[in-house]
Structure 1
Amino acid sequence: MIPSLASIASRLRLKQLRLLIALDERGSLHKAAEQISISQSGATKALHEVESLLGMPLFERQPQGLVANEMGRCMIRYARLIYSDVEHLREDMLSILRGQGGRLSVGVIMGAVPLLTRALTALRLKQPQLAIEVVENTSANLLGLLDQGRLDLAICRTSVGQRSDAYACIELSEEPLAVVASKDHPLAGATSLQLTQLSNYPWVVYPKDMPMRQALERELEDAGLDIPRYPLETSSVFATILLVQQDPALLAVVPAEVAGFCAQFDLLVTLPLSMRALVEPYGLISRVGADLPAAASLLIDELQPLITA
């Protein structure tokens, strides 16, 4: 039986987590002990303590050395996350003591990437020593990272979350959509199109139940057309661009601003087809009651004029 959260929190130590990471990297107790500057007997004791706490072994002895089993890999993954957070804590404390910098973690959906990058560019000119992490993902995944405390802010939609009242939202923008294709697509030179003319082509789409996917399916249903049966699914804008670039038959629905960027740099073409904007605007989201770092307020200040421009 897995021990309780209270038991894990009271008995698990950072030294043990460092050992798990070192064992994964070095494959032996002797080398792992050297890496974290403890004796081999101390390493053996620390590993025994963790395995006793969990009530199960974490490593198997194989010819190539100690190899993590499934539970061990799980522990190592979270050990790295926890140790990374402690590193970030130290960096933030140093920044506060020096009166400079700080750290900001912000998530963003594909359609808001251009808006966020403009704001971050302006922010970094004023705060060059600010450490910034940007995570692009779906709204659902970004809300999950907010809930876990992995993000300070996210530019996304709250309707896909379990509890929209758990979030504070500053509405930012509607999201007009466009259909993009390779420059070699058979319809690339058209001056006007109807959705029916696209029905026989394959699509790159956002994952199921995401607003971008729902928007395409709504348009197809309204036109009396079938939903694509075998689509390529991805939430990555980079993967979408490359897939459409490399396959002259593929189509994709992307935010109009992303389509404009692709057209500006001659990456893709925007097809002359009218698409309705997403029903729900995206916003700048934070957890209700969360203590935001000072850098979050600075980012909000940079976003505000871009929203009203």
Structure 2
Amino acid sequence: MLPPLSSMLSRLRLKQLRLLVALADHGSLLRAAEHVGLTQPGASKSLQEIESALGTELFLRTNRGLEPNDIGHCVIRYARLIETDLAHLREDMLGILQGHGGRLSVGVIMGAVPLLTEALSRLLEKRPALSVEIVEDTSGHLLTLLDEGRLDLAICRTSISQRPHLYDSIDIHDEQLAVVANVKHPLAGRKRIALPDLANFRWVVYSANMPMRLLLEREFHESGLRFPLYLLETTSAFTTLSLLQRNPSMVALLSVDVARFCTRFGMTTILPLQLQSRSEPYQLVSRSNSVLSPVAKLFVEEFRAAPDAR
């Protein structure tokens, strides 16, 4: 039976968490002990104290050394996160003491990457010593990272959450979508095309229930067309572009901002298809009732001051 959280907090020490990470990295109690400045008996005692505090064994004792069990892998993962958080804490403190810098963790969905880079570039001109972590992922995963305190802010959509009231958000940009393809696509030279012209091509799409995927499904439904059967699903912009580059007959749906960026460098072409549906605007999202850092507040102001801010 796992002990209560209060017991874990009172018994665990940071040096013990360092030992866990070292054991995972080295697989040897002796080498892990040397890494954290303990004797081997001291490391063995410390490991026993950790397992006692958590109420379960974390490692399998084998002829090859110590191997984490399933619970051990879980605990080590969080021990690494705590180490990372402390490193970020030090960066933030150093920035405050020096009167500049600081640290910002921000998430972004693929279509909003150009929007993020514009705002971030303006902020970096004002805060050149700023450290920034950017996480590109789906809205669902970015909201999870916000919940866990791993992100300060995210540019995504709260509509995919079953609990949107947990977030504060402001609409910052109306998304427009475009169908893109390889520059050698069979329809690339057309002046105008309709959705039936693309019905038999293979599509690179977002996963089911994602806003962009739902919009595309709605377009096919309202046109009286069956949604394509043979799909390639990905949330990665790089994967999408790589597939289009390798397969001239494929098509994909991207935000206009991303599509124009790729087309400007000759990676893709925008097909002349007029979409009827409108997508949801991008939102700048934070945890409800959370206290934003000074740097995060400055980032929010970059969007409020932008000419296209809603």
Aligned to 1:230: 230
Q: Which is further off, 52-61 or 74-83?
A: 52-61
Aligned to 2:206: 206
Aligned to 1:14: 14
C-alpha contact (below 8 Å) 1:173/1:307 kept by paired residues: no
The alpha-carbon distance between structure 1 residues 148 and 201, as it changes in their structure 2 partners (threshold 3 A), is same
Distance (whole Å) between structure 1 residues aligned to residue 48 and residue 226 of structure 2: 58
Q: CA deviation at 1:277?
A: 5.4
C-alpha contact (below 8 Å) 1:176/1:275 kept by paired residues: no
What stretches of structure 2 of length at least 5 have no aligned partner?
none
* 1:144-183 map, 5 Å: 144-183=144-183
| Regions of 4+ moved over 6 Å | none
The alpha-carbon distance between structure 1 residues 239 and 142, as it changes in their structure 2 partners (threshold 3 A), is same
The alpha-carbon distance between structure 1 residues 226 and 11, as it changes in their structure 2 partners (threshold 3 A), is farther
* 1:1-309 map, 5 Å: 1-276=1-276, 278-308=278-308
Partner amino acid, structure 2, of 1:217: E
Q: Per-residue displacement from partner, 1:122-146 (whole Å, max 9, x unpaired)? A: 1111111111111111111111111
Q: What TM-score do the two structures reach when normalised by structure 2?
A: 0.95
Partner amino acid, structure 2, of 1:123: L
Distance (whole Å) between structure 2 residues aligned to residue 65 and residue 185 of structure 1: 56
Q: What TM-score do the two structures reach when normalised by structure 1?
A: 0.95
Question: What do you get for the CA RMSD once the two structures are aligned?
Answer: 1.5
The alpha-carbon distance between structure 1 residues 227 and 10, as it changes in their structure 2 partners (threshold 3 A), is farther
Q: CA deviation at 1:278?
A: 3.8
Q: CA deviation at 1:290?
A: 0.6
Distance (whole Å) between structure 1 residues aligned to residue 229 and residue 5 of structure 2: 44
Q: Per-residue displacement from partner, 1:233-283 (whole Å, max 9, x unpaired)? A: 111112111111111222111101111001100001111101245442111
Q: Which is further off, 43-52 or 269-278?
A: 269-278
What stretches of structure 1 of length at least 5 have no aligned partner?
none
Q: CA deviation at 1:303?
A: 2.1
Q: CA deviation at 1:109?
A: 1.1
Q: CA deviation at 1:307?
A: 4.4
Q: Percent identity?
A: 54
Q: Which is further off, 155-164 or 296-305?
A: 296-305
C-alpha contact (below 8 Å) 1:212/1:278 kept by paired residues: no
Q: CA deviation at 1:183?
A: 1.6
Distance (whole Å) between structure 2 residues aligned to residue 74 and residue 24 of structure 1: 11
Secondary structure of the corresponding residue to residue 159 of structure 1? helix
Q: CA deviation at 1:49?
A: 1.5
Distance (whole Å) between structure 2 residues aligned to residue 189 and residue 179 of structure 1: 14
Q: Which is further off, 16-25 or 242-251?
A: 242-251
Distance (whole Å) between structure 2 residues aligned to residue 6 and residue 224 of structure 1: 59
Distance (whole Å) between structure 2 residues aligned to residue 46 and residue 229 of structure 1: 56
Partner amino acid, structure 1, of 2:262: C
C-alpha contact (below 8 Å) 2:29/2:40 kept by paired residues: yes
The alpha-carbon distance between structure 1 residues 262 and 71, as it changes in their structure 2 partners (threshold 3 A), is same
Secondary structure of the corresponding residue to residue 289 of structure 1? coil
Q: CA deviation at 1:294?
A: 0.5
C-alpha contact (below 8 Å) 2:212/2:279 kept by paired residues: no
Secondary structure of the corresponding residue to residue 308 of structure 1? coil
Partner amino acid, structure 1, of 2:228: P
C-alpha contact (below 8 Å) 1:108/1:136 kept by paired residues: yes
